Structure 1
């Protein structure tokens, strides 16, 4: 298994080429070629120095201009005085003595010299301002190029990082007996293991304070929307918005093609997109809600006997009364009732009629569980082992009614998480934790390798 820290280090590097091989001991090895040039920090340094120089030059030129302004005031006053004296002399030349006339000539020459000096200073400063304008233009151009470089480089890095992750997954598949069945197939013996966490980025709000919410793909997308992603995030357990992205790239760029605020608010986090509908727990009720993502029409249905108002919520999140889940067999809702004494109850939903089709009652207390999800008609429940490890510890098969304890640990990047759902469209687990998008690849046992420990054996 390749250490997560190595992958995170690779993500931060500007990779040009990377591959995964197996050494003579059968271990996966990452081969990485770093480019000759990484992010142009030298350009950033030059821009920083240029900025300081421009600032210093502007300060000097500003002080000069202030000095010119003071001199102009003095020169204007002296010229005005000379003008008055010349006018007096013109009125009565006989009153002007030869000495006074000589002094006047000297003063006029002095003012001419001062004006010539001032003109020279202004002419010297004028090119300086032109140079400053050119420098500012160059800085702006460089910043624009850097901005474009950064955006393109980030997308390139994410693509290469995803390719490297896929290579590692394929390498790990060669080392164990687990496998990945065809999308939509249940020809396997259940979950074998969960991959390392793939941390995508912060949600659309770019704020770790948005602790509540979820994200993922439509588990049964309409034609033309197979690549669509959704996100819904909040600072409290109350749900009220939905962001839709046409594909993974636009999710990363946070460029939604549709966004709406829901007038019919909801509770909880394990909401889901299924068949172009967004399913959630209606606010302050024991009812199911769904929104048509095209028309924004809202429908509600009573979930019979369901406990609500945070009575039997998951241990990892408050007000998680209903947990919507999708798998290869359709749509489900996981909850608890008074009659079940808080044990987990599972209902299959008929999406056409938007009604409960069939219900199963388990023997696992819901508050013991961190979260749960469905795969091929089997309910899987998780619990916290420590700050960094979560464990799939329980499963219930709706086809046989058999339940058992299992142990499939997987890593967490953060201690707390509020959303965990399997998506049959890509066989991934989607997690929402501390405002971050996280996902896992799911591996399955071959049928002959299926091993279980009965809860009652």
Structure 2
């Protein structure tokens, strides 16, 4: 019997041209023996040139693949069965809720009906998904669709009997909406305590208020700055300044009597700078513009009334270190409730920011303090109540105040005060103590923020 089965296997796997008659087999290729139970065993050795080993291996692999595919399909069917049981339970629950609505429709509000409609739509989508997954057109699915449509019609009909309740709900919703709007306004804007530093630092930054595109009305003017005088002379309290350029240099400047004229680009006062500046980290204080020049590398100032100008070299300041958004931002001027400041990095500080107080009368450095933050890590920095706050980008739409240094106590700390940006890059950020706002020139746009301090 065994030789016969062996011949059948060989006939199925071996081409006719590979057959060798039995009488031609060598005696060394066939051996016989008796098994433990007394059965006759026949052993045949076939060289690979005769027996198709590769075809046998291929059939074994195909068999394994088929078994795996069957297991996958069985698992899918089990999963679909579980989903169907869940859907049927949900359908039963919906049916019960619709029955309850039919019995006492006047005790339910519009929100109940709307929630039912949403759930019915979701259930219909789930049934469609299951039908496509099973690739079936079974009457069970048609019955489910019919049930869902019928329940949707009942819900729509029942809602029409609830008009009196709906009118009451609308009135209550209107009251609630008004309260929410009032609460939102209180959260978005808190009246600042101008000039008062009775707080422990910045608590949060508001959402950005975007004025408009720059006065040149061109997105090509990405560099620049805008804001208010941090110490206005009498009669110029409402004045705004603005400058914008296509590169990191500063060559002219505009003043507007108030915010409306800034937006309308009307009645501006033009200033042509005799000494071109760089870096865009300039400010206006006491009707004087403070900015950086590179020849010689120094801090410079221009009186906007008399056009008188002056400069001072800071021996330790270096041109090697700038903020991450732009080159040439070596000297960053800032003003707050405590006075006028300039921030820079030096070789001695190994690229870390040096905070220096400026004597406004002599236009010299009054005091210089080394801090612990690298300037090239920062997006920008500003001063508020004697504290230096340093920012960095989180992503293309978010900025973060991550470091603070108190000039009085010489203490530093890490922060995480995040606020949104209108555009990815900005080249001027300054705090103004007269209205306690941040002014940002954000890739060509006027942007401002309300600053909220921790009063506790």
Aligned to 1:443: 452
Q: 1:240 — aligned with what?
A: 251
Give distance in 2, aligned partners of 1:441 and 1:267. 28
Tell me, in whole angstroms, the C-alpha distance in 2 between the residues paired with 1:445 and 1:169: 19
Corresponding position of 1:272: 283
SS at 2:414 equivalent? strand
User: Counterpart of 2:114?
Assistant: none
Q: What secondary structure sits across from 2:389 in the alignment?
A: strand
1:350-365 to structure 2, matched below 5 A, reads 350-365=359-374
CA contact 1:312–1:366 (8 Å) conserved in 2 = yes
Q: Distance in 2 between matches of 1:431 and 1:386?
A: 17
Map residues 89-128 of structure 1 onto 2, 5 A cutoff: none
Secondary structure at the aligned position of 2:217 is classed as coil
Structure 1 position 297, deviation (Å): 1.3
Post-superposition Cα deviations, 1:334-369, rounded to whole Å, max 9, x if no partner, equal: 110110000000001111111111111001110000
Cα 1:436–1:181, aligned 2, differ >3 Å: closer, same or farther? closer
Over residues 369-415 of structure 1, what are the superposed CA-to-partner deviations in whole Å (9 max), with x where a residue is unaligned? 00000000000000110111100000000110000001100001111
The answer to whether the aligner puts 1:282 opposite 2:293 as a matched pair is yes
Structure 1 segment 253-272 matched on structure 2, within 5 A = 253-272=264-283
* Superimposed CA distance per residue, residues 306-346 of structure 1 (whole angstroms, 9 cap, x where no aligned partner): 002xx110001211001100100011001101100000000
Aligned residues: 284
Distance in structure 1 (CA, Å) of the matches to 2:391 and 2:180: 28
The secondary structure found in structure 2 opposite 1:241 is strand
Aligned counterpart, 1:347: 356
1:272-311 aligned within 5 A: 272-308=283-319, 311=320
| Cα distance in 1, alignment partners of residues 175 and 199 from structure 2 | 30
Matched-pair contact (CA < 8 Å) for 1:266–1:284: no
For 1:266-308, what per-residue CA distance to the aligned partner results, in whole angstroms no more than 9, with x for missing partners? Answer: 1111100001100000134321100000111111111131002
Find the counterpart in structure 1 of residue 102 from structure 2: none
CA contact (8 A) 1:22 1:29 kept: no
Aligned to 2:223: 212
Residues 81-106 of structure 1, C-alpha deviations (whole Å, 9 max, x = no match): xxxxxxxxxxxxxxxxxxxxxxxxxx
Maintained 8 Å contact 2:292/2:331:
yes
Unaligned runs of 5+ in 2: 1-172
Check if 1:414 corresponds to 2:423: yes
Aligned CA distance change for structure 1 residues 317 and 349 (closer, same or farther; 3 Å)? same
Aligned residue for 1:339, secondary structure, equals coil
Aligned to 2:186: 170
Equivalent residue of 2:275, what SS? strand
Q: Secondary structure at the match of 1:367?
A: helix
Q: Which residue does 1:29 correspond to in 2?
A: 181
Which of residues 325, 329, 334 is equivalent to 1:316? 325
Structure 1 length normalisation: TM-score? Answer: 0.60
Match of 1:382 in 2: 391
The answer to whether the Cα contact below 8 Å between 2:188 and 2:206 also exists between their aligned partners in 1 is: no
Tell me by how many angstroms 1:27 deviates.
Answer: 7.7
Q: Deviations over 1:95-148 (max 9, x none)?
A: xxxxxxxxxxxxxxxxxxxxxxxxxxxxxxxxxxxxxxxxxxxxxxxxxxxxxx
The question of 1:226 aligning with 2:218 is answered no
1:201 equivalent in structure 2: 212
Cα offset, 1:203, TM superposition: 1.2
Deviation at 1:26, TM superposition (A): 11
Between the aligned partners of 1:236 and 1:401, the Cα distance in structure 2 is 36
Which structure has the bigger radius of gyration? 2
* 8 Å Cα contact 2:429-2:441 kept in structure 1: yes
Deviation at 1:180, TM superposition (A): 5.2
**Any gaps of 5 or more consecutive residues in structure 1?**
1-20, 31-166, 174-178, 448-457
RMSD, aligned CA: 2.0
